[in-house]
Amino acid sequence: MKIQRRLVLGFAALFATMSLAALGPTLIVSSAEAASLTQVTNFGSNPGGMDMHVYVPSTRPAHPGIVVAMHGCGGSGPGFYSGSEFASQADRYGFIVIYPSAKQQAGFGNCFDTWSDAAKKRGGGSDPVSIVSMVTYVEQQYNGDPNRVFATGSSSGGMMTDEMLTLYPDVFKAGAAFMGVPFGCFANAADYPPGGKCTGGSMTKTAQQWGDMVRQAYPGYSGTRPRIQLWHGTADNLVPYQLLQEDIKQWTNVFGLSQTPTSTDSPKSGWNRSRFADSSGTVQVEAYSVQGAGHSLPSSGMAASAVSFFGLDNTSPPVTTPPVTTPPVTTPPVTTPPVTTPPDTTPPTGDSTCKVTDTVSSWNTGLTESISITNTGTSTINGWSLVFTLPGGQTISSGWSATFSPNSGQVTAKNQSYNAVLAPGASTTIGFQANHTGNTAKPPTFTLNGTTCTNG
């Protein structure tokens, strides 16, 4: 019961309803009554046996956009309506929100079907077909704009967001997945949480393999693919943070993009954002690592960021690349001599002064550790190794955003290709999951390219 509650509770309160003047001249008054959540029956084909609720703001355009907002396992559409900020964003910007209620009983119960063969094929049946029926109903009943349909969700709903963008790229224009997994991650119902390989912390595939899963779900599709925004907490021990990188692999491959971000920044404290733009500057994939967050997203302000990514805030078109904050490596040869006593074979290419912020989240015999590395020097680091010693009884079982060797004792974490470069002031976050025998302490010191880091 405690895990179920963590999947659906802990969200911030709704924003206050905005005044009509703040909505701007593009909105029209459709009703003298205040908007409220309404249940819809007989909305069309419903092989998933789902319930549908809809929130229609009292002020909206003649052809409003549509957002499908999906709850986590153990939750419901009305619960996600009251526990997230999408309805208040709808009041402000005049789009309609559909809140489906899942009825599948795999995992924790009331989960969206992202595991069955039917749910992995376009038009195959189960929950995806039911959700598309809801979208069609809103388009017909409320003159919803078919060119502005979006998907979002938390945990199980985040997983279904990837699913809907994969199966119905001609219906959805973009999505925002909170704590989701790549499409095709679950082999079957038995693989769904709390057991199974997908969320067991060891699921890895190549970008090509992940991308092929998306392409094979709708063979022959050659149209525009929907953009995607991905969110994950670095301390999530239910849907491992490592799966964010697998999600990035999948969607950058679908768009034919490099796994190296075109820009990175921190729009809010603790939100580390990586953007992957195409040659025109349009951000097709956007990923947020939320420092120290567990299985508790979206939190306050995140719905607004998703709405902005969709372009439903009436102020921002599809996002284009901002000034690059972590450019590809173009630094001239570094003239400072190398460190004379490095702990490994990776020499520093610049001032390796560093700061490490380490966060541990433990349970029973397991823990996850999130390590943020910041270059506090004045020269760019191109290639790094972080050395630390695990306390006795801790053994790494899986890791992300770095390679870890060996899995106990003195460990060396080496960069991946996409996070090898740390410009002055730039940060990257790596992490691992480990087993322990009772000692959940942090490593006492960290050394980056031979230099001891300060602890932040």
pLDDT in tens, 221-238: 999 999 999 999 999 988
Mean pLDDT of the 29-43 span: 74
3-state DSSP assignment of residue 381? strand
Per-residue model confidence (pLDDT) at position 352: 54
The secondary structure element, H or E, covering residue 79 is: helix 77-83
Give the Å distances, CA to CA, from 116 to 90, 188, 220, 244.
32, 6, 22, 22
First CA to last CA across the chain, in angstroms? 35
Per-residue model confidence (pLDDT) at position 318: 45
Q: Are 252 and 207 in contact (CB under 8 A)?
A: yes
The structure tokens listed for 186 are 């679950």
For the chain, what is the mean pLDDT?
Answer: 84
The rounded percent of the chain whose pLDDT value lies above 70 is 81
pLDDT-based confidence at residue 323 (cuts at 50, 70, 90): very low
C-alpha 169/C-alpha 345 separation (Å) is 46
Mean pLDDT of the 260-285 span: 96
Per-residue model confidence (pLDDT) at position 330: 46
pLDDT in tens, 291-318: 999 999 999 999 999 999 999 996 444 4
Q: Which residue has the higher pLDDT, 344 or 351?
A: 351
Report the largest interatomic distance among the alpha carbons of the chain, rounded to a whole angstrom: 75
Of 351, 337, 418, 401, nearest to 380 by C-alpha is: 351
The alpha carbon torsion through 101, 104, 110, 113 (nearest 10 deg) reads -80
Mean pLDDT of the 183-188 span: 92
Per-residue model confidence (pLDDT) at position 197: 87
Residue 200 has pLDDT above 90, yes or no: no
pLDDT-based confidence at residue 162 (cuts at 50, 70, 90): very high
C-alpha 17/C-alpha 20 separation (Å) is 9
Model confidence, pTM: 0.66
Neighbours of 439 (CB within 10 A): 12
- Amino acid identity for residue 218 in this structure: Y
Per-residue model confidence (pLDDT) at position 428: 85
pLDDT-based confidence at residue 6 (cuts at 50, 70, 90): very low
pLDDT in tens, 19-30: 222 333 344 444
Per-residue model confidence (pLDDT) at position 107: 58
C-alpha 239/C-alpha 245 separation (Å) is 12
Residue 253 has pLDDT above 80, yes or no: yes
Which of 76, 155, 289, 372 is catalytic? The answer is 155
Residues paired with 78 in a beta bridge:
none
pLDDT in tens, 116-160: 999 999 999 999 999 999 999 999 999 999 999 999 999 999 999
Q: Which residue has the higher pLDDT, 367 or 118?
A: 118
Q: Which domains does the chain have, with CATH numbers?
A: 2-310 (3.40.50.1820), 354-455 (2.60.40.290)
- Round the CA-based radius of gyration of the chain to a whole number and report it: 23
Per-residue model confidence (pLDDT) at position 142: 96
Residue 343 has pLDDT above 80, yes or no: no
Per-residue model confidence (pLDDT) at position 9: 34
The rounded percent of the chain whose pLDDT value lies above 90 is 64
Residue 261 has pLDDT above 70, yes or no: yes
Mean pLDDT of the 330-345 span: 44
The secondary structure element, H or E, covering residue 151 is: strand 149-154
pLDDT-based confidence at residue 34 (cuts at 50, 70, 90): low
Give yes or no: 155 in active site: yes
